[in-house]
A and B are shown apart, each in its own frame.
Chain A
Amino acid sequence: MSDISRPLADQVTEFLSRRARWSPIEIAFWLVAASTIWLFPARHLILTEICIWALFALSLDLILGYAGIISLGHAAFFGLGAYAAGLIGKYDIIGEPALALVASGLAAAGLGFATSFLVLRGSDLTRLMVTFGISLLLRELANKYSEITGGADGLQGVEIKPLLGAFRFDLYGHTGYAYSLVVLFVLFLLARRIVQSPFGLSLQAIRGNPLRSSAVGIATNWRLVAIYTLSAGYAGVAGALLAQTQAFASLEMFSVERSADVLLILIIGGTGYLYGGIIGALIFRFLQDYLSTLTARYWQFWIGLILIAIVLVGRDRIAGWTAPLRKLADALGRWRPGRPSATGGKS
Chain B
Amino acid sequence: MTILFDGIAYGMLLFVLACGLSVTLGLMNFINLAHGAFAMAGGYITVVLVNRLGVPFLLGLPLAFLFGAALGAVLERTLYVHVYAKSHLDQVLFTIGLVFMAVAGVDYVMGSSQQFIDIPTMLQGQFDVFGVRIGRYRLMIIVICGLLTVALQFILASTRFGSRLRAAVDDQRVARGLGINVGAVFGLTFAFGSGLAALGGALGAEILGLDPNFPLKYLIYFLIVVTVGGTSSITGPFVASILLGIGDVMGKYYVPTLSAFVIYSIMIVMLLWRPQGLFARASAR
Contacts and interface: CB of A to CB of B under 8 A. Distances in A.
Given A125-B31, A298-B104, A133 B98 contact: no
A111 to B, nearest CB: 14
A9 B258 CA distance: 56
Contact of B268 (A118, A141, A256): A118
A121 B108 contact: no
Interface string B255-272: 001101100100110011
Contacts of A300: 100, 103-104
Interface stretch (B45-53, B182-190, B223-231, B238-246): B223-231
B25 interface: yes
B97 A121 contact: no
B260 A140 contact: yes
Contact of A307 (B82, B100, B107, B261): B100
B222 to A, nearest CB: 9
User: Which residue, of B79, B92, B107, has the highest number of chain A Cβ atoms within 10 A?
Assistant: B92
Interface residues of A, number: 40
A136 to B, nearest CB: 6
B100 A70 contact: no
Interface stretch (A17-25, A242-250, A280-288, A310-318): A310-318
Given A121-B275, A132-B220, A301-B104, A307 B96 contact: yes
B99 interface: yes
B264 A125 contact: no
Nearest to A132: B220
A26 interface: no
A144 interface: yes
B263 to A, nearest CB: 8
Interface in B82-125: 82-83, 86, 88-94, 96-105, 107-108
Given A126-B227, A132-B219, A308 B94 contact: yes
B276 interface: yes
B97 A64 contact: no
Contacts of A124: 31, 88
Contacts of A310: 93
A298 B220 CA distance: 23
A70 B227 contact: no
Give chain B's interface secondary structure class.
helix
A301 B268 CA distance: 33
Contacts of A122: 227, 271, 275-276
B167 interface: no
B94 A307 contact: yes
A263 interface: yes
Interface string A326-343: 000000000000000000
A128 B90 contact: no
User: Which residue, of B86, B99, B271, has the highest number of chain A Cβ atoms within 10 A?
Assistant: B271
A72 B92 contact: yes
Given A118-B271, A125-B25, A263-B93, A304 B100 contact: yes
Please provide the 4 A-B residue pairs with the shortest distance between their CB atoms, ordered closest to farther.
A307-B97, A304-B100, A301-B104, A304-B101
26 contacts: A72-B92, A72-B96, A118-B268, A121-B271, A125-B226, A129-B223, A132-B219, A133-B220, A133-B264, A136-B260, A136-B264, A137-B261, A140-B261, A144-B257, A256-B216, A257-B100, A260-B96, A301-B101, A301-B105, A303-B97, A305-B101, A307-B100, A311-B91, A311-B94, A312-B94, A315-B90
Given A121-B271, A124-B88, A126-B227, 6 more contacts: A72-B33, A118-B271, A121-B275, A125-B31, A132-B219, A307-B97
Interface of B: 25, 31, 33, 79, 82-83, 86, 88-94, 96-105, 107-108, 216, 219-220, 223-224, 226-227, 257-258, 260-261, 264, 267-268, 271-272, 275-276
